[in-house]
Structure formats: C-alpha cells, structure tokens
Amino acid sequence: MKKLFLLSFAISFAFAMNAQNIFDKGSIMFNAGIGVPHNYGIVPTVNFSGEIGVIPTGDIGVVSFGALTEIQFAQYSYGYLYSNENFMRFYLGPRAAWHFLGLNTSVFDVYGGVGLGITINGKSDNISGSTNVDPDIFAGGRWMFAAKMGLFAEAGYTGLSYLKFGLTFGL
C-alpha cells in the first residue's frame, strides 16, 4: 500500500510540474559566434549579442531587449585581374526579440525579432568610408547542453551577415 501511495504521489507530482523555460523575465543571455557575410567577401563575421527578458506575454512568451555588434574583415574585388582590397566593417545596434515559451522545455529557446543599427564601412584606396542605417531582422534558437551554456543559430538580415551560429551563455 505504501509503494502504491508513493508511486501515485510521484506520478501526480510529475504531471503537476511544468518544465522550466530557459528564457523568462529577468533572464540574461550572451551570444558569441561567427556569421556568413551577405556581401564583401567570404571571410566570416565575428558577432556578439546580449539580451535580457523584460516583458512577459502571458504563458506563451517573453519580450527581450538587447544589442548586437558585428565585425567583418571585408574584401573588395575589382578589375580584370581581381585585385583585392581589404577593409573593416562594423555593425552596432539595439534589438528586441520575442521568445516563444509554448514548447515548455528547459533545453530549447526559439525566438524572432527586429532591430535597427549603424553599419560603418572602413576606408581603403578604392572604397570611401561610409555609415549606413541597416535593419536587423532575425529568427533563431538556442540549445542549452549545460545549465548556463549552449549553442545558438540565427538566420535573417542581421547587420553584416545573414546566418550566425556560435556559443550562448546564461547568467
């Protein structure tokens, strides 16, 4: 009888518990990775981003605010012999994302968002330096393989790249 009581208690407890989401209000996450550039060469971009969960949207999501910065050692090819010129590019801007909590898992985080940032193109012999305002539109996800560490991937038009992946860290 005692075993039956313990078994029924354990089953009831398991059904009553919900999995804890990896991103909730107050969560802080940082990403560090590389990206596939959308122009000026094939050298990967280096990117860093961070965000904090701020606004809960019921049981299905959390809105986060943060920032993204990217660096690219760019290359411009011109002429018949494909002479190359190297220059630096930077992107910096704020972003906001909505994290979907409907999966109810402590391993995966799915999100999408928007931002607006400044792209600074360095100057070289045949390229004049310029500054542009560019959008940041992205969809991504995280897979946490440890309590505070995991992998992330994002796709979209994000600063200097259209695909990013790397490590993610939580506080």
Specify the CATH number for the domain of residue 155.
Answer: 2.40.160.20
Q: What is the pLDDT of residue 11?
A: 38
Q: What is the pLDDT of residue 42?
A: 77
Task: Please enumerate in sequence order all residues whose Cβ is within 8 A of that of 7, keeping only pairs 6 or more positions apart, or say none.
Answer: none
Q: What is the pLDDT of residue 83?
A: 61
- Which residues does the chain have with pLDDT short of 50? 1-18
Asked if residue 76 belongs to a domain, the reply is yes
Q: What is the pLDDT of residue 121?
A: 83
Asked if residue 139 belongs to a domain, the reply is yes
Which amino acid is residue 43, in one-letter code? Answer: V
Q: What is the pLDDT of residue 9?
A: 40
Asked if residue 41 belongs to a domain, the reply is yes
Q: What is the pLDDT of residue 81?
A: 58
d(CA 154, CA 31): 11
d(CA 76, CA 9): 67
- Domain with 112, as residue range(s), is 21-170
Asked if residue 16 belongs to a domain, the reply is no
SS3 27: coil
Asked if residue 32 belongs to a domain, the reply is yes
pLDDT digits over 70-101, tens only?
998 877 666 555 666 777 889 999 999 999 98
Q: What is the pLDDT of residue 19?
A: 52
Q: What is the pLDDT of residue 124?
A: 65
